[in-house]
């Protein structure tokens, strides 16, 4: 039965790592275990390569997102197909 494997994958990627794809948007809302300081991941989504670095910032409760070094006002962004994107989430 492969259905349970799919749900476990979603629980890990969406629930813990906080990576969600909705249409062409990718949203980051990590819920890291207390003993994690962060994580790094390389993704291929929507025809783009995305390097993600999540850093636990104990000073703030809100999520901040930097895309290619520029801060955004949202926890989401739309990657460009064929492009490479670096994302830092705090």
DSSP element (H, E) containing 10: helix 3-10
Instruction: Give the global pTM.
Output: 0.86
User: What pLDDT does 36 receive?
Assistant: 95
- The Cα 34–Cα 51 span in angstroms is 23
pLDDT at 55 over 80: yes
Query: pLDDT tens-digit profile of 64-82?
Result: 999 999 999 999 999 999 9
- The CA-atom distances, in angstroms, between 84 and each of 22, 52, 67 are 19, 11, 11
% of the chain with per-residue pLDDT over 70: 98
Query: pLDDT tens-digit profile of 18-52?
Result: 999 999 999 999 999 999 999 999 999 989 999 99
User: What pLDDT does 8 receive?
Assistant: 86
Is the pLDDT higher at 8 or at 88?
88
The full set of domains in the chain, from first to last, is 3-89 (2.60.420.10)
């Amino acid at each position: 039965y492969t259905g349970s494997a799919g749900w476990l994958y979603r629980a890990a990627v969406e629930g813990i790592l906080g990576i969600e794809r909705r249409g062409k948007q990718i949203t980051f809302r990590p819920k890291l275990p207390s003993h994690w300081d962060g994580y790094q991941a390389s993704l291929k989504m929507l025809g783009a390569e995305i390097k993600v670095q999540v850093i636990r910032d104990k000073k703030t409760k809100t999520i901040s997102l930097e895309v290619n070094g520029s801060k955004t006002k949202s926890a989401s962004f739309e990657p460009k197909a064929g492009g490479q994107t670096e994302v830092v989430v705090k």
